[in-house]
Amino acid sequence: MGKKIDKHIKELQAEKELKSKLETELSKANQPKYLKFLWETQKPQFFLTFVGLAGCIGVAPVLFNPDNDIPILAAIGAGVAIVGFTVCMVLQPYFIYKNLIKLNYWSPNSAWSKQK
């Protein structure tokens, strides 16, 4: 009796692992590449990244020019703010994409699936 139950439990576990593996493979097949995801859903962040890069390149010589009468703390704070903006515009879509992968967002059985 106990051996039959153990055998049945092992079969159920194997079936569950197979189903999980199949669902993972299906979600990977439906999952877009990062750049495609970025272009289709995160266009404002994509363009603001280039604005931030242009800001870093364009404002740095003005801020750190020795002839300016800008207080040093204000110049450093402005530089940190511009670089921080650019880094956040780059990393925010990446972390959103990684969280969607963890949530199995593109799986056909997902709670957010459009195929229902």
- pLDDT tens sequence for the chain (116 residues): 667 777 777 777 777 776 666 666 556 667 788 888 888 888 888 888 888 889 889 988 888 888 888 888 988 898 899 999 999 988 998 999 999 888 878 777 777 766 54
For residues 104 and 30, is the Cβ–Cβ distance under 8 A? no
- Nearest alpha carbon to residue 62 among 74, 50, 51: 74
The whole-model pTM stands at 0.62
Spatial separation of the C-alpha atoms in residues 116 and 109, rounded to whole Å: 9
Spatial separation of the C-alpha atoms in residues 74 and 63, rounded to whole Å: 9
User: What residue type is assigned to position 87 of the chain?
Assistant: V
